[in-house]
Protein backbone atom coordinates (compact mmCIF):
# COMPACT_ATOMS: atom_id res chain seq x y z
CA UNK A 1 0.00 0.00 0.00
CA UNK A 2 1.23 3.54 -0.68
CA UNK A 3 2.33 5.60 2.32
CA UNK A 4 -0.43 8.12 3.10
CA UNK A 5 1.14 9.59 6.25
CA UNK A 6 4.06 11.21 4.50
CA UNK A 7 4.79 14.74 3.33
CA UNK A 8 6.17 16.15 0.12
CA UNK A 9 9.47 16.48 1.99
CA UNK A 10 9.41 12.70 2.55
CA UNK A 11 8.61 12.21 -1.12
CA UNK A 12 11.63 14.30 -2.12
CA UNK A 13 13.88 12.19 0.12
CA UNK A 14 12.43 8.91 -1.18
CA UNK A 15 12.67 9.95 -4.82
CA UNK A 16 16.28 11.09 -4.51
CA UNK A 17 17.07 7.79 -2.81
CA UNK A 18 15.55 5.99 -5.82
CA UNK A 19 17.83 8.11 -8.03
CA UNK A 20 20.87 6.86 -6.13
CA UNK A 21 21.52 10.14 -4.34
CA UNK A 22 23.12 9.54 -0.95
CA UNK A 23 24.79 12.93 -0.42
CA UNK A 24 23.37 16.45 -0.67
CA UNK A 25 24.73 19.89 0.19
CA UNK A 26 23.05 23.04 1.40
CA UNK A 27 22.20 25.53 4.12
CA UNK A 28 19.23 24.89 6.40
CA UNK A 29 16.60 27.61 6.64
CA UNK A 30 13.02 28.11 7.79
CA UNK A 31 11.90 27.72 4.19
CA UNK A 32 13.49 24.32 3.48
CA UNK A 33 13.20 22.58 6.85
CA UNK A 34 10.45 20.08 5.87
CA UNK A 35 12.70 18.69 3.14
CA UNK A 36 15.83 18.59 5.29
CA UNK A 37 13.92 17.10 8.23
CA UNK A 38 12.82 14.34 5.86
CA UNK A 39 16.41 13.81 4.73
CA UNK A 40 17.46 13.23 8.33
CA UNK A 41 14.54 10.98 9.19
CA UNK A 42 15.07 8.83 6.10
CA UNK A 43 18.44 7.68 7.42
CA UNK A 44 19.72 7.27 3.85
CA UNK A 45 20.90 10.78 3.06
CA UNK A 46 24.13 12.47 4.14
CA UNK A 47 23.46 16.18 4.25
CA UNK A 48 26.54 18.40 4.24
CA UNK A 49 25.84 21.77 5.89
CA UNK A 50 27.84 24.28 3.88
CA UNK A 51 28.54 27.74 5.26
CA UNK A 52 27.00 29.49 2.28
CA UNK A 53 24.71 28.67 -0.61
CA UNK A 54 27.39 29.48 -3.18
CA UNK A 55 29.70 26.93 -1.61
CA UNK A 56 26.93 24.36 -1.32
CA UNK A 57 26.15 24.45 -5.04
CA UNK A 58 29.87 24.38 -5.90
CA UNK A 59 30.13 21.25 -3.78
CA UNK A 60 27.14 19.67 -5.51
CA UNK A 61 28.65 20.56 -8.90
CA UNK A 62 32.03 18.99 -8.10
CA UNK A 63 30.33 15.96 -6.55
CA UNK A 64 28.47 15.42 -9.84
CA UNK A 65 31.63 15.81 -11.94
CA UNK A 66 33.65 13.33 -9.90
CA UNK A 67 30.92 10.78 -9.15
CA UNK A 68 29.29 10.87 -12.57
CA UNK A 69 25.91 11.04 -10.82
CA UNK A 70 23.51 13.77 -9.79
CA UNK A 71 24.66 16.60 -7.55
CA UNK A 72 22.05 18.00 -5.17
CA UNK A 73 22.08 21.41 -3.49
CA UNK A 74 19.40 22.76 -1.15
CA UNK A 75 18.87 26.45 -0.44
CA UNK A 76 16.23 28.74 0.94
CA UNK A 77 14.41 31.30 -1.16
CA UNK A 78 15.18 34.96 -1.88
CA UNK A 79 18.72 36.04 -1.05
CA UNK A 80 19.73 32.43 -0.41
CA UNK A 81 18.70 31.35 -3.89
CA UNK A 82 20.46 34.44 -5.24
CA UNK A 83 23.64 33.45 -3.40
CA UNK A 84 23.60 30.19 -5.35
CA UNK A 85 23.22 31.89 -8.73
CA UNK A 86 26.94 32.22 -9.52
CA UNK A 87 27.54 28.56 -8.72
CA UNK A 88 24.65 27.58 -10.98
CA UNK A 89 26.29 29.58 -13.77
CA UNK A 90 29.47 27.56 -13.19
CA UNK A 91 27.58 24.26 -13.26
CA UNK A 92 25.86 25.31 -16.46
CA UNK A 93 29.19 26.29 -18.03
CA UNK A 94 30.67 22.91 -17.12
CA UNK A 95 27.58 20.90 -18.09
CA UNK A 96 27.18 19.41 -14.61
CA UNK A 97 23.94 17.56 -13.75
CA UNK A 98 22.88 19.41 -10.60
CA UNK A 99 19.46 19.53 -8.92
CA UNK A 100 18.96 22.80 -7.05
CA UNK A 101 16.08 22.52 -4.59
CA UNK A 102 15.02 25.88 -3.26
CA UNK A 103 12.30 26.64 -0.78
CA UNK A 104 9.68 29.31 -1.32
CA UNK A 105 7.19 31.20 0.83
CA UNK A 106 3.61 29.98 1.30
CA UNK A 107 1.50 29.91 -1.85
CA UNK A 108 -1.05 32.28 -0.35
CA UNK A 109 1.52 35.09 -0.19
CA UNK A 110 3.57 34.14 -3.23
CA UNK A 111 4.08 36.70 -6.03
CA UNK A 112 2.01 39.36 -4.24
CA UNK A 113 4.95 41.63 -3.41
CA UNK A 114 3.84 42.29 0.17
CA UNK A 115 7.36 42.03 1.59
CA UNK A 116 7.04 38.54 3.06
CA UNK A 117 10.31 37.37 4.67
CA UNK A 118 12.63 35.64 2.18
CA UNK A 119 10.48 36.70 -0.77
CA UNK A 120 12.32 37.76 -3.92
CA UNK A 121 10.58 39.58 -6.75
CA UNK A 122 10.35 37.36 -9.81
CA UNK A 123 12.68 34.66 -8.50
CA UNK A 124 11.74 32.28 -11.36
CA UNK A 125 13.18 34.68 -13.94
CA UNK A 126 16.46 34.86 -12.01
CA UNK A 127 16.74 31.08 -11.76
CA UNK A 128 15.75 30.56 -15.39
CA UNK A 129 18.63 32.83 -16.37
CA UNK A 130 21.29 30.79 -14.54
CA UNK A 131 19.88 27.25 -14.85
CA UNK A 132 19.25 24.89 -17.71
CA UNK A 133 15.59 24.81 -16.63
CA UNK A 134 13.33 25.97 -13.81
CA UNK A 135 10.26 24.31 -12.27
CA UNK A 136 7.83 25.34 -9.53
CA UNK A 137 5.81 22.74 -7.61
CA UNK A 138 2.39 24.34 -7.46
CA UNK A 139 0.58 21.62 -5.51
CA UNK A 140 1.51 18.46 -3.54
CA UNK A 141 0.13 16.14 -6.21
CA UNK A 142 2.47 17.72 -8.79
CA UNK A 143 5.64 17.09 -6.82
CA UNK A 144 6.63 13.67 -8.14
CA UNK A 145 6.07 14.50 -11.80
CA UNK A 146 8.03 17.75 -11.45
CA UNK A 147 10.92 16.02 -9.70
CA UNK A 148 11.07 13.33 -12.38
CA UNK A 149 11.16 15.87 -15.18
CA UNK A 150 13.71 18.02 -13.37
CA UNK A 151 16.15 15.15 -12.77
CA UNK A 152 15.76 13.87 -16.32
CA UNK A 153 16.38 17.37 -17.68
CA UNK A 154 19.47 17.86 -15.50
CA UNK A 155 21.04 14.56 -16.59
CA UNK A 156 20.10 14.58 -20.29
CA UNK A 157 22.96 15.81 -22.50
CA UNK A 158 23.80 18.59 -22.67
CA UNK A 159 23.53 18.21 -18.90
CA UNK A 160 23.19 21.17 -16.59
CA UNK A 161 21.74 22.53 -13.37
CA UNK A 162 17.98 22.57 -12.89
CA UNK A 163 16.23 24.60 -10.20
CA UNK A 164 13.05 23.38 -8.50
CA UNK A 165 11.12 25.76 -6.26
CA UNK A 166 8.88 24.18 -3.59
CA UNK A 167 6.75 26.48 -1.41
CA UNK A 168 7.02 25.77 2.30
CA UNK A 169 3.35 24.77 2.66
CA UNK A 170 3.75 22.29 -0.21
CA UNK A 171 6.85 20.79 1.42
CA UNK A 172 4.91 19.99 4.60
CA UNK A 173 1.68 18.91 2.89
CA UNK A 174 0.54 15.30 3.06
CA UNK A 175 1.04 13.22 -0.08
CA UNK A 176 0.95 9.57 -1.07
CA UNK A 177 4.32 8.00 -1.84
CA UNK A 178 4.12 5.15 -4.37
CA UNK A 179 5.43 1.78 -3.27
CA UNK A 180 7.90 1.81 -6.14
CA UNK A 181 9.87 4.87 -7.22
CA UNK A 182 12.05 4.63 -10.32
CA UNK A 183 14.74 7.04 -11.43
CA UNK A 184 14.05 8.64 -14.81
CA UNK A 185 16.12 7.44 -17.72
CA UNK A 186 18.73 9.68 -19.33
CA UNK A 187 17.46 10.64 -22.77
CA UNK A 188 20.53 10.44 -24.99
CA UNK A 189 20.42 11.67 -28.58
CA UNK A 190 21.88 8.88 -30.67
CA UNK A 191 23.51 9.91 -33.95
CA UNK A 192 21.98 8.66 -37.16
CA UNK A 193 23.80 5.55 -38.43
CA UNK A 194 24.29 7.21 -41.82
CA UNK A 195 26.04 10.15 -40.17
CA UNK A 196 28.34 7.82 -38.26
CA UNK A 197 29.05 5.87 -41.44
CA UNK A 198 30.05 9.10 -43.18
CA UNK A 199 32.22 10.18 -40.25
CA UNK A 200 33.95 6.80 -40.19
CA UNK A 201 34.65 7.10 -43.92
CA UNK A 202 36.21 10.51 -43.38
CA UNK A 203 38.43 9.30 -40.53
CA UNK A 204 39.39 6.13 -42.39
CA UNK A 205 40.44 8.24 -45.36
CA UNK A 206 42.66 10.50 -43.26
CA UNK A 207 46.33 9.85 -42.63
CA UNK A 208 46.74 12.25 -39.71
CA UNK A 209 43.36 12.56 -37.91
CA UNK A 210 42.94 14.40 -34.61
CA UNK A 211 40.06 14.10 -32.16
CA UNK A 212 39.34 17.12 -29.91
CA UNK A 213 37.47 15.99 -26.78
CA UNK A 214 35.44 18.37 -24.64
CA UNK A 215 33.40 18.06 -21.47
CA UNK A 216 30.57 16.46 -23.44
CA UNK A 217 32.85 13.46 -24.02
CA UNK A 218 33.34 12.78 -20.30
CA UNK A 219 32.21 9.21 -19.78
CA UNK A 220 33.35 8.17 -23.26
CA UNK A 221 36.70 7.04 -21.87
CA UNK A 222 36.58 3.51 -23.25
CA UNK A 223 35.63 4.48 -26.81
CA UNK A 224 38.08 7.37 -26.94
CA UNK A 225 40.89 5.12 -25.70
CA UNK A 226 40.08 2.62 -28.45
CA UNK A 227 40.47 5.38 -31.03
CA UNK A 228 43.76 6.52 -29.50
CA UNK A 229 45.03 2.92 -29.56
CA UNK A 230 44.16 2.82 -33.28
CA UNK A 231 46.48 5.80 -33.84
CA UNK A 232 44.04 8.73 -33.81
CA UNK A 233 45.64 11.81 -32.24
CA UNK A 234 43.88 13.20 -29.16
CA UNK A 235 43.69 16.73 -27.78
CA UNK A 236 41.29 17.99 -25.12
CA UNK A 237 39.71 21.07 -23.69
CA UNK A 238 40.25 21.73 -19.99
CA UNK A 239 36.89 20.10 -19.27
CA UNK A 240 37.72 17.07 -21.39
CA UNK A 241 40.97 16.25 -19.63
CA UNK A 242 41.58 12.60 -18.83
CA UNK A 243 38.98 11.13 -21.19
CA UNK A 244 42.07 9.51 -22.67
CA UNK A 245 44.78 9.09 -20.02
CA UNK A 246 47.24 11.94 -20.45
CA UNK A 247 50.06 9.40 -20.15
CA UNK A 248 48.94 7.80 -23.44
CA UNK A 249 51.46 8.34 -26.27
CA UNK A 250 48.76 9.56 -28.69
CA UNK A 251 47.39 12.42 -26.62
CA UNK A 252 48.45 16.05 -26.43
CA UNK A 253 46.35 16.41 -23.30
CA UNK A 254 45.20 19.98 -22.75
CA UNK A 255 48.22 21.55 -24.49
CA UNK A 256 45.65 22.59 -27.06
CA UNK A 257 46.83 26.10 -27.98
CA UNK A 258 50.60 25.93 -27.44
CA UNK A 259 52.55 27.24 -30.48
CA UNK A 260 54.22 23.86 -31.25
CA UNK A 261 50.82 22.17 -31.13
CA UNK A 262 49.30 24.78 -33.44
CA UNK A 263 52.14 24.11 -35.86
CA UNK A 264 51.39 20.39 -35.59
CA UNK A 265 47.72 21.04 -36.44
CA UNK A 266 48.93 22.40 -39.78
CA UNK A 267 50.18 18.91 -40.68
CA UNK A 268 46.90 17.18 -39.82
CA UNK A 269 44.31 16.40 -42.48
CA UNK A 270 41.16 16.02 -40.32
CA UNK A 271 39.84 17.32 -37.00
CA UNK A 272 36.82 15.77 -35.27
CA UNK A 273 35.47 17.88 -32.40
CA UNK A 274 33.35 15.85 -29.96
CA UNK A 275 31.38 17.46 -27.15
CA UNK A 276 33.28 20.74 -27.07
CA UNK A 277 32.31 24.37 -27.61
CA UNK A 278 35.90 25.23 -28.61
CA UNK A 279 35.79 27.97 -26.00
CA UNK A 280 37.43 31.31 -26.70
CA UNK A 281 40.05 31.14 -23.96
CA UNK A 282 41.28 27.80 -25.34
CA UNK A 283 41.34 28.80 -29.01
CA UNK A 284 42.91 32.30 -28.84
CA UNK A 285 39.38 33.72 -29.15
CA UNK A 286 38.69 31.41 -32.13
CA UNK A 287 41.89 32.48 -33.89
CA UNK A 288 43.79 29.25 -33.22
CA UNK A 289 44.85 27.63 -36.48
CA UNK A 290 43.08 24.27 -36.55
CA UNK A 291 43.16 21.61 -39.29
CA UNK A 292 41.31 22.79 -42.41
CA UNK A 293 38.77 19.95 -42.53
CA UNK A 294 36.63 19.90 -39.38
CA UNK A 295 33.74 17.63 -38.40
CA UNK A 296 31.67 18.35 -35.32
CA UNK A 297 29.85 15.86 -33.05
CA UNK A 298 27.45 17.32 -30.48
CA UNK A 299 23.99 16.69 -29.07
CA UNK A 300 23.27 20.41 -29.37
CA UNK A 301 22.55 21.35 -33.01
CA UNK A 302 23.39 25.00 -32.31
CA UNK A 303 27.06 23.99 -32.13
CA UNK A 304 27.14 23.46 -35.90
CA UNK A 305 29.49 26.10 -37.29
CA UNK A 306 29.84 27.93 -33.99
CA UNK A 307 33.27 29.54 -33.64
CA UNK A 308 34.71 27.58 -36.59
CA UNK A 309 33.25 26.45 -39.88
CA UNK A 310 32.24 22.81 -40.08
CA UNK A 311 32.59 20.41 -43.00
CA UNK A 312 29.80 18.26 -41.58
CA UNK A 313 27.86 18.16 -38.33
CA UNK A 314 26.80 14.94 -36.60
CA UNK A 315 24.05 15.47 -34.07
CA UNK A 316 24.25 13.07 -31.18
CA UNK A 317 25.61 12.46 -27.74
CA UNK A 318 29.40 12.20 -27.85
CA UNK A 319 29.45 9.10 -25.66
CA UNK A 320 27.23 7.17 -28.09
CA UNK A 321 28.89 8.67 -31.17
CA UNK A 322 32.45 7.78 -30.20
CA UNK A 323 31.46 4.21 -29.39
CA UNK A 324 29.82 3.85 -32.80
CA UNK A 325 32.80 5.45 -34.51
CA UNK A 326 35.29 3.13 -32.83
CA UNK A 327 33.23 0.10 -33.87
CA UNK A 328 33.23 1.26 -37.50
CA UNK A 329 36.94 2.00 -37.64
CA UNK A 330 38.36 -1.23 -36.27
CA UNK A 331 41.03 -2.46 -38.66
CA UNK A 332 40.42 0.30 -41.20
CA UNK A 333 42.87 3.07 -40.32
CA UNK A 334 46.00 3.72 -42.36
CA UNK A 335 47.82 6.22 -40.20
CA UNK A 336 50.95 8.03 -41.42
CA UNK A 337 53.89 6.16 -39.82
CA UNK A 338 55.43 9.50 -38.75
CA UNK A 339 52.23 10.79 -37.10
CA UNK A 340 52.81 9.44 -33.59
CA UNK A 341 56.38 10.72 -33.43
CA UNK A 342 55.32 14.15 -34.70
CA UNK A 343 52.54 14.34 -32.10
CA UNK A 344 54.94 13.35 -29.32
CA UNK A 345 57.46 15.97 -30.49
CA UNK A 346 54.78 18.67 -30.47
CA UNK A 347 53.74 17.76 -26.94
CA UNK A 348 57.33 17.67 -25.74
CA UNK A 349 58.00 21.07 -27.28
CA UNK A 350 54.87 22.45 -25.58
CA UNK A 351 56.05 21.09 -22.23
CA UNK A 352 59.50 22.65 -22.79
CA UNK A 353 57.79 25.96 -23.48
CA UNK A 354 55.76 25.66 -20.28
CA UNK A 355 58.93 24.95 -18.29
CA UNK A 356 60.55 28.02 -19.80
CA UNK A 357 57.65 30.15 -18.58
CA UNK A 358 58.00 28.70 -15.07
CA UNK A 359 61.71 29.00 -14.43
CA UNK A 360 63.80 26.59 -12.37
CA UNK A 361 62.18 26.99 -8.95
CA UNK A 362 58.61 26.62 -10.14
CA UNK A 363 59.61 23.72 -12.38
CA UNK A 364 60.88 22.03 -9.23
CA UNK A 365 57.52 22.69 -7.53
CA UNK A 366 55.74 21.13 -10.50
CA UNK A 367 58.05 18.11 -10.40
CA UNK A 368 57.29 17.60 -6.70
CA UNK A 369 53.55 17.73 -7.31
CA UNK A 370 53.82 15.25 -10.18
CA UNK A 371 56.02 12.92 -8.14
CA UNK A 372 53.71 12.79 -5.13
CA UNK A 373 50.28 13.24 -6.71
CA UNK A 374 48.01 10.38 -5.57
CA UNK A 375 47.21 8.28 -8.62
CA UNK A 376 43.62 8.68 -9.76
CA UNK A 377 42.74 11.35 -7.21
CA UNK A 378 40.56 14.35 -8.04
CA UNK A 379 42.55 17.48 -8.97
CA UNK A 380 40.51 20.58 -8.10
CA UNK A 381 41.75 23.97 -9.21
CA UNK A 382 40.71 27.55 -8.68
CA UNK A 383 41.48 30.47 -10.98
CA UNK A 384 44.98 31.33 -9.79
CA UNK A 385 48.37 31.97 -11.36
CA UNK A 386 49.73 28.50 -10.67
CA UNK A 387 46.75 26.84 -12.26
CA UNK A 388 46.71 29.07 -15.33
CA UNK A 389 50.42 28.52 -15.96
CA UNK A 390 50.81 24.83 -15.13
CA UNK A 391 48.01 23.27 -13.07
CA UNK A 392 45.48 23.13 -15.88
CA UNK A 393 47.59 20.88 -18.11
CA UNK A 394 50.96 19.81 -16.65
CA UNK A 395 49.85 17.32 -13.94
CA UNK A 396 48.71 14.25 -15.92
CA UNK A 397 45.17 13.01 -15.38
CA UNK A 398 44.22 9.44 -16.18
CA UNK A 399 40.41 9.56 -15.97
CA UNK A 400 37.67 11.91 -17.11
CA UNK A 401 36.28 12.30 -13.57
CA UNK A 402 39.52 13.58 -12.03
CA UNK A 403 39.59 17.15 -13.28
CA UNK A 404 37.53 19.75 -11.38
CA UNK A 405 38.09 23.34 -12.39
CA UNK A 406 36.33 26.70 -12.39
CA UNK A 407 35.33 26.59 -16.06
CA UNK A 408 33.47 29.89 -15.90
CA UNK A 409 36.65 31.72 -14.91
CA UNK A 410 35.48 32.88 -11.46
CA UNK A 411 37.74 32.81 -8.42
CA UNK A 412 36.72 31.39 -5.07
CA UNK A 413 35.19 28.10 -6.20
CA UNK A 414 38.22 25.86 -5.75
CA UNK A 415 37.84 25.26 -2.01
CA UNK A 416 34.15 24.22 -2.00
CA UNK A 417 34.65 22.24 -5.20
CA UNK A 418 37.47 20.36 -3.49
CA UNK A 419 35.15 19.48 -0.61
CA UNK A 420 32.48 18.17 -2.99
CA UNK A 421 35.06 16.19 -4.95
CA UNK A 422 36.55 14.70 -1.79
CA UNK A 423 33.16 13.53 -0.53
CA UNK A 424 32.43 11.99 -3.94
CA UNK A 425 35.65 9.94 -3.74
CA UNK A 426 36.07 9.21 -0.02
CA UNK A 427 38.62 6.48 -0.68
CA UNK A 428 40.98 8.93 -2.41
CA UNK A 429 42.58 12.15 -1.29
CA UNK A 430 41.54 15.17 -3.35
CA UNK A 431 44.25 17.72 -4.10
CA UNK A 432 43.23 21.36 -4.56
CA UNK A 433 45.27 24.19 -6.08
CA UNK A 434 44.00 27.59 -4.93
CA UNK A 435 45.25 31.15 -4.50
CA UNK A 436 44.99 33.22 -1.35
CA UNK A 437 42.57 35.70 -2.95
CA UNK A 438 40.15 33.05 -4.16
CA UNK A 439 40.54 31.05 -0.95
CA UNK A 440 39.33 34.04 1.07
CA UNK A 441 36.19 34.38 -1.03
CA UNK A 442 34.65 31.16 0.34
CA UNK A 443 36.82 30.84 3.43
CA UNK A 444 33.93 29.58 5.56
CA UNK A 445 33.90 26.32 3.62
CA UNK A 446 37.16 25.36 5.32
CA UNK A 447 34.97 24.84 8.38
CA UNK A 448 32.75 22.56 6.29
CA UNK A 449 35.81 20.55 5.27
CA UNK A 450 36.84 20.26 8.91
CA UNK A 451 33.37 19.32 10.14
CA UNK A 452 32.96 16.66 7.45
CA UNK A 453 36.59 15.50 7.74
CA UNK A 454 36.87 15.77 3.98
CA UNK A 455 40.05 14.10 2.71
CA UNK A 456 41.47 17.09 0.86
CA UNK A 457 44.93 18.65 0.66
CA UNK A 458 44.84 22.34 -0.26
CA UNK A 459 47.91 23.77 -1.96
CA UNK A 460 47.41 27.42 -0.99
CA UNK A 461 49.49 29.67 -3.22
CA UNK A 462 49.91 32.88 -1.22
CA UNK A 463 51.19 36.01 -2.95
CA UNK A 464 49.23 38.46 -0.83
CA UNK A 465 46.66 39.41 -3.42
CA UNK A 466 45.52 38.92 -6.98
CA UNK A 467 48.71 38.06 -8.83
CA UNK A 468 47.20 37.79 -12.29
CA UNK A 469 45.54 41.20 -11.89
CA UNK A 470 48.89 42.73 -10.96
CA UNK A 471 50.43 41.21 -14.08
CA UNK A 472 47.65 42.57 -16.27
CA UNK A 473 48.07 45.99 -14.70
CA UNK A 474 51.80 45.82 -15.43
CA UNK A 475 51.25 44.70 -19.03
CA UNK A 476 48.28 46.86 -20.05
CA UNK A 477 47.84 49.66 -17.53
CA UNK A 478 51.32 51.13 -17.30
CA UNK A 479 52.15 49.34 -14.07
CA UNK A 480 49.43 51.18 -12.16
CA UNK A 481 48.55 48.62 -9.52
CA UNK A 482 45.23 49.28 -7.84
CA UNK A 483 43.01 47.08 -5.63
CA UNK A 484 45.05 43.92 -6.16
CA UNK A 485 46.92 43.85 -2.83
CA UNK A 486 44.93 42.16 -0.06
CA UNK A 487 45.15 41.76 3.67
CA UNK A 488 45.42 38.01 4.04
CA UNK A 489 44.68 36.07 7.23
CA UNK A 490 47.20 34.31 9.39
CA UNK A 491 46.40 30.99 7.79
CA UNK A 492 48.21 28.97 10.43
CA UNK A 493 46.12 30.53 13.20
CA UNK A 494 42.97 30.19 11.12
CA UNK A 495 43.56 26.50 10.51
CA UNK A 496 44.38 25.92 14.18
CA UNK A 497 41.07 27.49 15.18
CA UNK A 498 39.26 24.85 13.09
CA UNK A 499 41.49 21.90 13.91
CA UNK A 500 42.85 21.75 10.36
CA UNK A 501 46.45 20.68 9.81
CA UNK A 502 48.59 23.53 8.46
CA UNK A 503 52.03 23.37 6.90
CA UNK A 504 54.03 26.16 5.31
CA UNK A 505 56.72 26.22 2.65
CA UNK A 506 58.80 29.33 1.99
CA UNK A 507 61.11 27.73 -0.56
CA UNK A 508 61.47 24.85 -2.98
CA UNK A 509 63.18 22.46 -0.58
CA UNK A 510 60.65 23.20 2.15
CA UNK A 511 57.85 22.47 -0.33
CA UNK A 512 59.44 19.15 -1.30
CA UNK A 513 59.63 18.13 2.34
CA UNK A 514 56.17 19.32 3.35
CA UNK A 515 54.16 17.96 0.43
CA UNK A 516 54.26 14.23 1.37
CA UNK A 517 53.13 15.10 4.91
CA UNK A 518 50.31 17.29 3.58
CA UNK A 519 49.12 14.41 1.41
CA UNK A 520 49.13 11.97 4.33
CA UNK A 521 46.74 11.59 7.23
CA UNK A 522 43.01 12.02 7.65
CA UNK A 523 40.76 15.00 7.10
CA UNK A 524 41.74 18.30 5.51
CA UNK A 525 45.23 19.78 5.38
CA UNK A 526 46.50 23.12 4.11
CA UNK A 527 49.99 23.50 2.67
CA UNK A 528 50.58 27.24 2.41
CA UNK A 529 53.18 28.18 -0.20
CA UNK A 530 54.93 31.53 0.22
CA UNK A 531 55.20 32.45 -3.45
CA UNK A 532 57.68 35.21 -2.77
CA UNK A 533 59.92 32.60 -1.15
CA UNK A 534 59.78 30.45 -4.28
CA UNK A 535 60.47 33.46 -6.48
CA UNK A 536 58.84 34.96 -9.60
CA UNK A 537 57.74 33.00 -12.62
CA UNK A 538 60.14 33.35 -15.53
CA UNK A 539 57.36 34.74 -17.71
CA UNK A 540 54.54 36.73 -16.09
CA UNK A 541 51.05 35.47 -16.86
CA UNK A 542 48.70 38.33 -17.78
CA UNK A 543 45.55 36.51 -18.81
CA UNK A 544 44.71 34.02 -21.58
CA UNK A 545 46.83 34.40 -24.71
CA UNK A 546 45.30 36.45 -27.50
CA UNK A 547 46.04 36.97 -31.18
CA UNK A 548 45.05 39.83 -33.41
CA UNK A 549 45.38 38.00 -36.70
CA UNK A 550 42.77 35.38 -37.53
CA UNK A 551 43.65 31.74 -37.72
CA UNK A 552 41.95 29.05 -39.77
CA UNK A 553 38.17 29.20 -39.88
CA UNK A 554 37.49 31.51 -36.98
CA UNK A 555 34.60 33.93 -36.93
CA UNK A 556 34.42 37.43 -35.47
- Summarised one tens digit per residue, pLDDT across range 391-442 is 999 999 999 999 999 999 999 999 999 999 999 988 899 999 999 999 999 9
Q: How confident is the model at residue 525 (pLDDT cuts 50, 70, 90)?
A: very high
112-169: per-residue pLDDT in tens? 888 888 888 889 999 999 999 999 999 999 999 999 999 999 999 999 999 999 999 9
Q: How confident is the model at residue 549 (pLDDT cuts 50, 70, 90)?
A: low
Query: What DSSP character marks residue 251?
Result: B
Q: Residue 365: is its pLDDT beyond 90? A: yes
Q: Residue 552: is its pLDDT beyond 60? A: no
Answer yes or no: do 367 and 476 share one domain.
yes
Answer yes or no: do 321 and 369 share one domain.
no
pLDDT for residue 418: 98
Q: Of 347, 373, 397, which residue constitutes the final position of a domain?
A: 347
**Dihedral (CA of 363, 462, 370, 278) sign:** negative
CB atoms inside a 10 Å sphere around CB 311: 13
Residue 545 maps to a domain: no
Answer yes or no: do 377 and 499 share one domain.
yes
Q: Which neighbouring-strand residues pair with 274?
A: 213, 297
Residue 500 maps to a domain: yes
Q: How many domains does the chain have?
A: 3
Answer yes or no: do 142 and 287 share one domain.
no
Residue 182 maps to a domain: no
Mean pLDDT over the full length of the chain: 94
Q: How confident is the model at residue 5 (pLDDT cuts 50, 70, 90)?
A: confident
3-class secondary-structure state, position 26: strand
Answer yes or no: do 213 and 173 share one domain.
no
Answer yes or no: do 139 and 238 share one domain.
no
Answer yes or no: do 496 and 415 share one domain.
yes
Helix axes 8-18, 143-155, angle to 10 degrees: 30
| Cβ(267)–Cβ(530) below 8 Å | no
Q: Of 293, 312, 347, which residue constitutes the final position of a domain?
A: 347
Mean pLDDT confidence for 265-273: 98
User: What is the rounded CA–CA span in Å between residue 103 and residue 475?
Assistant: 47
Residue 552 maps to a domain: no
CATH number at residue 458: 3.40.50.970
User: What is the rounded CA–CA span in Å between residue 275 and residue 272?
Assistant: 10
Answer yes or no: do 365 and 302 share one domain.
no
CATH number at residue 291: 3.40.50.1220
Answer yes or no: do 141 and 234 share one domain.
no
| Cβ(334)–Cβ(248) below 8 Å | no
Residue 289 maps to a domain: yes
pLDDT for residue 424: 97
Answer yes or no: do 380 and 507 share one domain.
yes
Q: Which of 14, 5, 3 is nearest to 143 (CA)?
A: 14
Answer yes or no: do 295 and 328 share one domain.
yes
Residue 439 maps to a domain: yes
13-45: per-residue pLDDT in tens? 999 999 999 999 999 999 999 999 999 999 999
pLDDT for residue 440: 94
User: What is the rounded CA–CA span in Å between residue 117 and residue 110?
Assistant: 11
Q: Is 470 exposed, middle or buried (0-12, 13-18, 19+ CB in 10 A)?
A: buried
Residue 542 maps to a domain: no
Answer yes or no: do 7 and 131 share one domain.
yes
The parent domain of residue 269 ranges over 193-347
90-112: per-residue pLDDT in tens? 999 999 999 999 999 888 888 88
Q: Is 522 exposed, middle or buried (0-12, 13-18, 19+ CB in 10 A)?
A: exposed
Percent residues over pLDDT 70 in the chain:
98
Residue 554 maps to a domain: no
Amino acid sequence: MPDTSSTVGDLVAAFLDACGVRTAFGVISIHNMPVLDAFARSGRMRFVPARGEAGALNMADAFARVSGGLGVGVTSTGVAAGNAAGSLVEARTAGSPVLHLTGQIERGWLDRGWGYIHEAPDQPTMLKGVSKAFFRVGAPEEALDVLREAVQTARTPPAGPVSVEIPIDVQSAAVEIPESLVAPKIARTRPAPADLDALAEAVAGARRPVLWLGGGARGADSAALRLADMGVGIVTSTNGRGVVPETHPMTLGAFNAAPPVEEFYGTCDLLVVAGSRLRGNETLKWNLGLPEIRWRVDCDPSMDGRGYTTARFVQGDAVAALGGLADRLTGRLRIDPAFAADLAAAKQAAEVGLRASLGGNWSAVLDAVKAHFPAGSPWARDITLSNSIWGNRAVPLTGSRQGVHSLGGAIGQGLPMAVGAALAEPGRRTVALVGDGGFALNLGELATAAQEQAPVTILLMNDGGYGVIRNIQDARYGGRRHYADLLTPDFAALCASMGVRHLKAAGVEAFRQALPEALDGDGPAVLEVDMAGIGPFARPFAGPPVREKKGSGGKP
